[in-house]
Amino acid sequence: MRSIRKLLKTYISAVAAGSLLLSCLSPFGPVAAVAAAESSAPVLLVTEIHPNNTGDDDYEFIEIYNNSDRTLKLNDYSVRYYYPSDGSMIPFQFPEVSLPSGQTVVLWYNKSAKTVADFNSKYGTSLNPDQIAEITGTGFTGLANSGSRGVVIRDAAANEITKAIYVTEDIGTGLGVYYRSPLAGTEQAKLAVLQAPTPGTLSPGQVPDTPVHLPDNEPPVITHTPVTAANVENDVIITASITNPEDTVAGATYNDIVTAAVYYKSISEPTFLSVPLVKMTGTDFSAAIPGTELKEAQLQYYIRLRTAPIL
């Protein structure tokens, strides 16, 4: 067996040489990159929760607002039903949702297979199917009409970006809660309680005047488990999980693709050779360094990513 040593120096020099064009992974563990924001407000906001509609419980909904300057794919986030008493949560499932900047989507618990036309008739709205998404969840049977409940939104790295909570006194039959941006932390403030439902419509003061700016060239999120030993009789398999926050979204202003490669060399060799990291399934990538390249007791390698617009 020959050992494989990864050098932090390689990672640092690569970043210094091309930090404007590429992102690199240190082979010492996972690196998660998130977009910087000019505003402290979350990129997504819960703007209304209506847990107790009049009549049969067929029209409960949660309204979510895109507070960024880009189209976001809501499926890149995790929206969860939240129990503040013990912190437990139920993840919602919903179809693909592309949410334009400054727009809302209504997440509807449609337990009786009603139609969008039924929903519009109930609330006197004219929402189109792209503005409504039906939600389900394992163990979820509807928004509670009493006690303390809420909605939590997490990003792709499982970081909580916002949450909205209501208690029994905030709601009534046919009355729900309007929310605004958090005053501090991630918990949103209540703009008004015991309010008539307004799905798809915002009230003054609910959202910031200026959306969160998401910069271009948002780095991918990549996880890699270092290879520490190899056998000259076999190729060295390098694997990584790469998630691109700028994955293609219909109508988005950013549509970057990611390419990746593994650069490697023996200690005495002056230059690195490379092999491409090939996408396998989902976010999994793989590359093979030929076993014949294990010429010395140590082999250095690093992973380099490049992003480029889809033209």
How far apart, in whole angstroms, are the C-alpha atoms of residue 91 and residue 220?
24
Question: Which of 128, 98, 104, 67 minimizes the C-alpha distance to 252?
Answer: 98
Residue 158: pLDDT band (50, 70, 90) is confident
Q: Which CATH class is domain 44-195?
A: mainly beta
Residue at 30: amino acid letter: P
pLDDT tens digits, one per residue of 91-128 = 999 999 999 999 999 999 999 999 999 999 999 999 99
> For the chain, what are the domain ranges?
2-36+216-309, 44-195
Is residue 39 scored above 60 in pLDDT? no
**Model confidence at 153, in pLDDT bands (50, 70, 90)?**
very high
Hey, what are 246's tokens? 């700028």
CB of 53 within 8 A of CB of 196?
no
pLDDT tens per residue across span 247-274: 544 334 444 677 899 999 998 999 999 9
State the pTM of this model: 0.64
